[in-house]
Every structure is written in C-alpha cells, then in structure tokens.
Amino acid sequence: MWLPFTQMSDYERDPLIIKSGEGVTVTDIYGNTYLDGYSSLWLNVHGHRKKELDEAIQVQLQSIAHSTLLGAANIPSILLAEKLVELAPENLSRVFYSDSGATAVEIAVKMAYQYWQNKGLKRKKRFVTVSNGYHGDTVGTMSVGSIELYHKVYTSLLFDALVIPFPAVYRHPSGDEDIVKEESLRTLRALFKERHEEIAGMVLEPMIQGAGGMNVMPPGYLKEVELLCKKFNILLIVDEVATGFGRTGKMFAVEHENIQPDLLTVAKGLTGGYLPVAATVATEEIYEAFYGDYEEMKTFFHGHSYTGNQLGCAVALANLEIFEKERLVAQATEKAEFLKELLVEVKQLPYVGDVRQCGLMCGIELVKNQLTKEPFPLTDRVAYHATLKMRELGLLTRPLGDVIVLMPPLATSKEQLAEMVAILMEGIQTVTRELVEL
C-alpha cells in the first residue's frame, strides 16, 4: 500500500494497523488500544460501532446497496436531502451529492463558476480565498487552497486564485484581534472594489481553518466577509467539511455568526465517520440558474459514480437522528467548555506557544521560544515526534506542522477528554525535554 499524506519511510519505521474499534477507542493487530483523539481524521462523531449506525446499514442492505443518481433518485438520498435542507441555513434548499470533501468543494467551485456563465455575467470567473486555507487535494480544490507545503509543487497546474491574508492573531506583531481582523478585511474590501466584476466567488472555512493549523477567526470577521460578498455580488462558499455537524459547538459553524452562504459543503461528519458521502448545498437561486430546457445548455454536467449511495445516505440519516435524540450539539458545547479548562494547563507547558480552540477542534502550537515565538527547526519535527510518543501512551492524533491536533469524537466522555489531555501533555513534555537535552 501507499498511504495518503504519508512519507512511507516514516510509516515503515512506525507502522500501525488497526483491527477494530469500540466507542472512542481503536485497537491494533497486536491488541494495543488507543483513544481516537483525532476522530479517525476528523470524521467520527458517536464513536466506533455505534449500534444505531451499524443497524442502519444492515437494514438498508435488505433493500439495495447502490443505484445511480444520474437521472434517477433513491429513497435514502431524498430523505437525507430533506434533512440537510432542514438543518442548513434557511436560504439553502438544494442538495447535490458527492463522495468526499474535495469533490463537494470542487462542485461548489464549478457551480459558482457556471452560475455566472449561465446568468450571462461572463467575466465573473475568478475566486478569492484566504491564506492557509484547505479544501481538498484535487486540482480544483488545491487551486482555491493555499497551503504552501501541499500545493507548491503543483503551482503551474493550478488556476490562479486571489489570496487575502487569514486574520491569524498569534503570529501578528500586534497580537490584537481587532487590528488583525481589520487588516485582512481592508485587503478584501480593496480587492472586491477593484475586481468584483471578474470575481465569481469567495471560498473559505468558516470560524476555524483545519488543515492550515487550527486557526481561529476573530469574532465578527466572517460576518463582515458575508456583507462584503453581498455588497459586491460575489458568491460566498463556506467549506464546512471539517466544521459541520457539531464539531465547533453549533450544528454548522456559520451559525456562530448567523451567516447565510450561497453554497455550503459538508462531508467528514455527515455519516458519523462511517461511509464516504458528501454534499454541496445551494440556494434556490443558484439551482434556478441551471434550470431550463436541455437546449439552453445550462445543465450541470458533473457527477460521480457513487453519488447518493444508499448505504451512505442511510447511515447519514441515522447519524442525524442521533444528533437530535442525544441533543449532541448542546453536549458538544458543554464538552468544549470542559476541554477549554483542561487546555489551560497545556498552555502553561514550556514550549507551548499557542492553544487555539473552536468547540471540539483544538490546535496546540509548539515553539522553541515562547517569548519570541521562534519555531523549532523544521528538521526537529517536534510535533510529529510528540504524536508518536502519544501513540505509545495510548492516544492517536496527527500533527499539522508544529501544531498538534486534538479533535475528539463528540461522544467522548469528560473522563476520556481528561485522559486524552493528560497523555497529550506527557507526550509534549517528554519530546520537548529530549530535544532540549540533545
């Protein structure tokens, strides 16, 4: 095998093969059990082997596993679309399925582009993004993404997006939320003012950037972006692939600032972490711009073989039912508060520069010097080694550069959260101590 986002020489040194899972733990082939501190890469919601989810798939199997959505619908996909529209911001009413976060964003970008073509505003072709954004690994989503490490080698392959600075507070000289926010918005305002006639849409992760290093937006920033998009007739595409389904303490992160986007993408948590289903949710206005007689050539010619898969939609429906039954979003909010208290201690550790959190999405940034914020040398791979140590101690997670991610499943108990944080602290302390002694 060739593993994703993995240097295989690293993997060969420290291989891991998972055999089973139960609740918020997974077990490897040697019987070692680990807390799933990264929700199996930001997907898992209710833990593994959740009875209702297992059953939903078994029940669906008694009817059919898959039939195509190209020119045909199926029952679970209809029911799930209805549910998604009910949960999403009011102005969103049309669900287009796919099978991963990247495809959901790719679809949103193509829809936004073609929307203006269909409307006759043919000059509107460009996209605006924020620095450090991540939207997936396809050529289209890399183009609206902005993570140097992942995207640089492909530069000449990508279309050119317009990038404004993310309002990152920690490394800004002022360290002041309002100044950082205003600086970024000033750039955006100027860009929109000058070039709105050629801009189709703005793409960003709402409230918190995931893969870019768990960067939290200052309050009020997203609202201003929304107002500017409206003012300049630019479609707002929010990528809720990571933030959706309670992860930030709201069902969708846009609810923190009461945003009504034009397009919203979901994937990761949609099926509770069980099967690959994603969706791009659009406004009626966008849908209508594609609607007409075939000869008008307005059709959205895009689709994937497994779009609308019944097993996936059935388990997604069961997932959303549990959200209601267990009042999971309210629980996540409460657990996030608890976690926030635990993280106070983490913040005080030597070599911890910044602790960022939005709901149950947390990033702990390690630095060589807390005062100057000087990073560790890249070759130290300090966060990587810390996560290997955590694995030894019974907690799974993955770093983003020098940022350690903690993103527990929503179902994690307070006791388990405390256990995760204790291991995380021990991992950080052991590895940074070793580095300094060397």
Q: Which residues of this protein are in contact with ligand PLP, per CB under 6 A? A: 100-102, 105, 134-136, 205, 210-211, 239, 241-242, 267-268
Q: What distance in Å separates the CA atoms of residue 143 and residue 161, rounded to the nearest whole number?
A: 6
Closest separation between CB of residue 84 and ligand PLP, Å?
Answer: 17
| Closest distance to ligand PLP from the beta carbon of 159 (Å) | 17
Distance CA 159, CA 197 (A): 18
Query: Residue with the closest Cβ to ligand PLP?
Result: 101
Q: Is the dihedral of CA 21, 25, 27, 31 positive or negative?
A: negative
Q: How many Cα atoms occupy the beta-carbon half-sphere of 394 within 13 Å?
A: 12
- Provide CB contacts within 8 A for 173, sequence distance 6+: none
Q: How far is the CB of 286 from ligand PLP (least distance, A)?
A: 20
Q: Nearest approach, Cβ of 281 to ligand PLP (angstroms)?
A: 14
Decide whether 99 or 354 has the Cβ nearer to ligand PLP.
99
Decide: 106 and 136 in contact? Cβ < 8 Å.
yes
Question: 395 has which bridge partners?
Answer: 35
The nearer residue to ligand PLP, 74 or 98, going by C-beta atoms, is 98
Count of beta carbons in the 10 Å neighbourhood of residue 328? 21
Residue number with CB closer to ligand PLP (92 or 277): 277
What's CA 148's distance to the chain center, in Å? 18
Minimum distance from CB of 138 to ligand PLP (Å)? Answer: 8
Residue 53 sits at the vertex; the CA angle it makes with 91 and 20, to the nearest 5 degrees, is: 125
Distance (Å, rounded) from C-alpha 248 to C-alpha 360? 6
User: 205 vs 226, which CB is nearer to ligand PLP?
Assistant: 205
Query: What does DSSP say about strands 25-28 and 235-239: parallel, antiparallel, or unpaired?
Result: unpaired
In angstroms, what is the minimal distance from the CB of 122 to ligand PLP? 28
If the CB atoms of residues 205 and 419 are measured against ligand PLP, the closer one turns out to be 205
For ligand PLP, the closer CB: 241 or 406: 241
The answer to whether residues 201 and 236 touch, using CB atoms and an 8 Å cutoff, is yes
* Shortest Cβ 174–ligand PLP spacing (Å): 27
- Cβ nearer to ligand PLP, comparing 158 with 422: 158
Q: What is the DSSP string of 267-296?
A: -GGGGTTSS--EEEEEEHHHHHHT-S-GGG
